[in-house]
C-alpha cells in the first residue's frame, strides 16, 4: 500500500509485522506508482473462532480480573491505540490492517454462557471490550455486543464498558436494567474536544460532543458513568485536560481517570508517521515530552509506570488531574454487586429460604 493519509483512516501506512521473515519498503519504479492520493482501503469482517472468550488478567495496572473482547482489530482507527500491536499475532500489520481487517466472534455469547455455567466459576466483574471497542461501527451489523450484554444480564453478572462510541445508547434498555441491579458501569473515553483533531486522531469514533451526549443519556437513565481521558498526548491534547474533565462532569460523569500516551512496539513508528503527516511542527516537542516521562525512551512497559510515566512532566499531569478532579467534585463509581450472580442453566434451590 502507498503510504499517506486516507480519509476515514487513522494509520498512514501498513508497517511490517514484527514476526515477518522479510521487510518491505515503498519503491518508486519510475511509473508514478507512489504519486497521487493513496488508494482507499475497505473494511473486511472476518471470523474468529474461540473455545473460550473470558480472558484473565493479573496486571496491577488495570482494575479488572476478567474481560471479554467481541472483536479483534478496531474500525475506529485511533492512531494511538495500544492494542494495534496485537494484530501481529494474527499475521497482520498493526497499521491499516488493524482498522480494516476486523475479526469477530459470532459464537461469543454461547461460549460465554458455557463458561459462566461451569462448576467452580468465580464471579468477578467482566470488562467488556477492553482491548478493542465493543461498540465499534461493525457492531451495528452484528449485534454481537448486545447479545453478550443479554447473557450477562440474564445471569445477573456485573460488567463494565469503556467506549468511544455513541452506539452504546442503543442498549440503554439493557444497561438501565443492569444499573438498577448494581451490575454495570460505563466509562466514555475522550481524547480531545477539537472536532478537526479528533477526525484525524480517531477518524471513525463518534464526535466528542456526541460521546458527551451519550454519557448524558446514560446518566439520565441511572447508569453510573465516568470519563476516561485517554490518551493524554503531550503538547497535542494535554492543554485540554481540565476542559475535558469539566465537560464530562457537566454531562453526568461521576468519576474520571486518565492514561498517558503509550507507544509499545510498532506504535512508535505509526504515531511518528502520523505526526509527520498531520502535525509536523509539533513532532519533536510531543516525543521529547514522552521521553521525559519514560527515562529518555518513548515507552517503558514496567507495571506501575506504563500508564502514567514518571518525572516532572508526568507529575505535572498527575497534579493537574488531581486538582481538577477535586474541584469538580468527581468521586468513585458505586460498587458492583457480585452477590446476585446465578449460573446460566442452574437449578433452583429445592428448599428456598432455609426451609430444608
Burial class (CB in 10 A: 0-12, 13-18, 19+), 355: exposed
Burial class (CB in 10 A: 0-12, 13-18, 19+), 100: buried
Give residue 251's pLDDT band: very low, low, confident or very high (50, 70, 90).
very high
Distance, in Å, from the CA atom of 76 to the CA atom of 137, rounded to the nearest integer, reads 7
Please tell me whether residue 70 adopts helix, strand or coil conformation: coil
Burial class (CB in 10 A: 0-12, 13-18, 19+), 36: exposed
Give residue 349's pLDDT band: very low, low, confident or very high (50, 70, 90).
very low
Q: Which residues contact 169 (CB under 8 A, 6 or more apart)?
A: 214, 217, 218
Q: Give residue for cell 473494511.
A: 43
Q: Are 308 and 314 in contact (CB under 8 A)?
A: yes
Q: Give all domains of the chain, ordered by start, each with its CATH number.
A: 44-332 (3.80.30.30)
Give residue 60's pLDDT band: very low, low, confident or very high (50, 70, 90).
confident
Mean per-residue pLDDT, 207-222 = 98
Give the pTM.
0.90
Mean per-residue pLDDT, 264-289 = 95
- What is the pLDDT, as a whole number, of residue 249? 98
Query: Which letter, b or e, does each residue of 10-25 get, where b requires 16 or more Cβ atoms within 10 Å of its Cβ?
Result: bbbbbbbbeeeeeeee
Model confidence at 83: pLDDT above 80: yes
Model confidence at 3: pLDDT above 80: no
Q: Which residues contact 246 (CB under 8 A, 6 or more apart)?
A: 324, 328
Name the helix (H) or strand (E) containing 225: strand 225-232
Amino acid at each position: 500500500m502507498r503510504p499517506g493519509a486516507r480519509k476515514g483512516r487513522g494509520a498512514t501506512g501498513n508497517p511490517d509485522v514484527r514476526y515477518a521473515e522479510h521487510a518491505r519498503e515503498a519503491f518508486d519504479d519510475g511509473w508514478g506508482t507512489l504519486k497521487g492520493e493513496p488508494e482507499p482501503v475497505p473494511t473486511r469482517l472476518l471470523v474468529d473462532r474461540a473455545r473460550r472468550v473470558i480472558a484473565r488478567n493479573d496486571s496491577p495496572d488495570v482494575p479488572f480480573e476478567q474481560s471479554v473482547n467481541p472483536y479483534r482489530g478496531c474500525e475506529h482507527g485511533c492512531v494511538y491505540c495500544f492494542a494495534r500491536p496485537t494484530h501481529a499475532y494474527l499475521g497482520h500489520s498493526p497499521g491499516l490492517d488493524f482498522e480494516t481487517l476486523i475479526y469477530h466472534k459470532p459464537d461469543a455469547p454461547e461460549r460465554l454462557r458455557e463458561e459462566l455455567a461451569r462448576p467452580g466459576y468465580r464471579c468477578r466483574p467482566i470488562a467488556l471490550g477492553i482491548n478493542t471497542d465493543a461498540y465499534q461501527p461493525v457492531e451495528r451489523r452484528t449485534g454481537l455486543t448486545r447479545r453478550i450484554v443479554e447473557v450477562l444480564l440474564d445471569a445477573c453478572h456485573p460488567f463494565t464498558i469503556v467506549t468511544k462510541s455513541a452506539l452504546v445508547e442503543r442498549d440503554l434498555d439493557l444497561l438501565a436494567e443492569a444499573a438498577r441491579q448494581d451490575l454495570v458501569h460505563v466509562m466514555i473515553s475522550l481524547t480531545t474536544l477539537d472536532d478537526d483533531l479528533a477526525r484525524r486522531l480517531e477518524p471513525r469514533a463518534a464526535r466528542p460532543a456526541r460521546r458527551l451526549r451519550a454519557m448524558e443519556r446514560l446518566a439520565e437513565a441511572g447508569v453510573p458513568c465516568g470519563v476516561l481521558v485517554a490518551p493524554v498526548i503531550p503538547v497535542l491534547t494535554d492543554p485540554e485536560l481540565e476542559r475535558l474533565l469539566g465537560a464530562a462532569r457537566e454531562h453526568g460523569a461521576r468519576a474520571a481517570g486518565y492514561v498517558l500516551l503509550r507507544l509499545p512496539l510498532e506504535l512508535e513508528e505509526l504515531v511518528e508517521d502520523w505526526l509527520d503527516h498531520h502535525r509536523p511542527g509539533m513532532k519533536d516537542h510531543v516525543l521529547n515530552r514522552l521521553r521525559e516521562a519514560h527515562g529518555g525512551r518513548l515507552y517503558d512497559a514496567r507495571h506501575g509506570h506504563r500508564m502514567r510515566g514518571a518525572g516532572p512532566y508526568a507529575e505535572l499531569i498527575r497534579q493537574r488531574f488531581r486538582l481538577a478532579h477535586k474541584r469538580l467534585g468527581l468521586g468513585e463509581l458505586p460498587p458492583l454487586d457480585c452477590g446476585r450472580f446465578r449460573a446460566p442453566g442452574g437449578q433452583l434451590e429445592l428448599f428456598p429460604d432455609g426451609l430444608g
